[in-house]
Amino acid sequence: MPPEAERTQRASIAMAPDEVDRYLRGRHTMALATTGPGGRPHLVAMWYGFVDGAPGFLTYRGSQKYKNLLRNPEVTCLVEDGDVYEELRGVQLLGRAETIGDEDRRLQLAYSVTERYQGPLDEDGRALVRARMAKRLAVRIALERVVSWDHRKLVRGDGVRDR
Tell me how many domains the chain contains: 1
Question: Looking at residue 10, what is its pLDDT?
Answer: 76
144 belongs to a structural domain: yes
Q: State the CATH number of the domain containing residue 91.
A: 2.30.110.10
Residues 70-111: tens digit of each pLDDT: 999 999 999 999 999 999 999 999 999 999 999 999 999 999
76 belongs to a structural domain: yes
Residues 4-54: tens digit of each pLDDT: 655 577 788 999 999 999 999 999 999 999 999 999 999 999 999 999 999
Question: Looking at residue 76, what is its pLDDT?
Answer: 98
40 belongs to a structural domain: yes
If one compares 1 and 106, the residue with the highest pLDDT of the two is 106
Sequence-separated (6 or more) residues with CB below 8 Å from residue 59: 65, 66, 136, 137, 139
3-state helix, strand, coil in the chain (%, to 5): 40, 35, 30
Question: Looking at residue 11, what is its pLDDT?
Answer: 83
| pLDDT higher than 90, residue 59 | yes
| pLDDT higher than 50, residue 160 | no
Sequence-separated (6 or more) residues with CB below 8 Å from residue 43: 31, 32, 33
16 belongs to a structural domain: yes
Instruction: Show the domain range for 82.
Output: 3-153
56 belongs to a structural domain: yes
